Amino acid sequence: MRMTDSGADSAFYHRLGVADDGTERFAATDYTRSVWSTEMQHGSPPAALLVRAMERGHPREGARLARVTVELLGPVPVTECRVRSRVLRPGRSIELLEARMDAPMPDGSARTVASARAWRMATEDTAMVQRATDDRYPAGRPSADSGFGFFGAHEVVTFLDAVEWQWTSLAGDEEPGRVRVRGKVALVAGEEPTPLERMFCVIDAANGVGATLDPREWTFLNTEMSVHIHRVPGVGLGIAAESSVGPDGVGMCTAVIHDEAGPVARTAQSLLVRRRI
């Protein structure tokens, strides 16, 4: 497998500094490449970079992100990208943050390729009443089967190579697809990711984990992702995902995200379902 000169063996991105307009500049590495097309980025690394911008660009003690919605506004090229963030609606208990990612186009112009908005809430001790309604990730040894084998080999490193996948079950009529995940590279070279950055580095894979359609015959790309986080994730992440497909080319993937102590978040993605020609 080919590694890029920017050091794709260590991170999804390398920070290039701050531009004159105040935006942060990053170089994407091979590990950001999507398996649908290696000319565009998988959705997880840009989502995590947008979360990073909101968390680190506007830090606040005693508050955390509770809901994050990421909009994928088109293919994100594997090239330099620029990220900016701001507080849209400040507040003592609840506030709304926004982040945007811009990337150069072939004609030399720049376009916003992804954006995110997040509600951040002030925290308070509610340990005595905490509860989770979703089932815990089932115990048991990983299966030898892989849910991503159908994509085959690529001449370059892709997002799949950046994560260790330990499958418990493949999606079907009886149960969701379940996989334990462990990131093998950093989000940004030289940085220790926050718990939410670590989760968002893998979370957009849910529509692949929950897929029942054969991707050699169908495509089911997501246009966005909404994540509700009721507990800050720890280590040992797992994804349990399942998909619904309507009769008119539109689908939906929902997932529960787990850590070793139990469920931490729910996600939903809209899917554009198309038969391959």
118 in Cβ contact with 68 (< 8 Å): yes
Mean of all residue pLDDT scores within the chain: 91
What integer pLDDT is reported at residue 71 of this predicted model? Answer: 97
What whole-number distance in Å separates Cα of residue 52 and Cα of residue 192? Answer: 11
pLDDT at 272 over 50: yes
| pLDDT above 90 (res 80) | yes
Please report the pLDDT score of residue 214 as a whole number: 87
pLDDT, tens digit, 9 for 90 and up, residues 84-111? 999 999 999 999 999 999 998 888 788 9
Contacts of 15 (CB under 8 A, 6+ apart): 24, 25, 26, 188, 189, 190
Could you tell me the pTM of the whole model?
0.92
- Judge whether residue 188 has pLDDT over 60: yes
CA distance 150 to 138: 25
Residue-wise pLDDT tens digits, 45-63 = 999 999 999 999 999 999 9
To the nearest 5 percent, what fractions of the chain are helix, strand and coil? 15, 45, 40
| Portion of the chain with pLDDT greater than 70, in percent | 91
pLDDT bin (cut points 50, 70, 90) of residue 172 is confident
CB 50 within 8 A of CB 41: no
Average of per-residue pLDDT across 6-29: 86
User: What's the pLDDT score for residue 1?
Assistant: 30
**pLDDT one-digit tens code per residue, 114-171:** 999 999 999 999 999 999 998 888 876 666 566 666 555 667 889 999 999 999 888 8
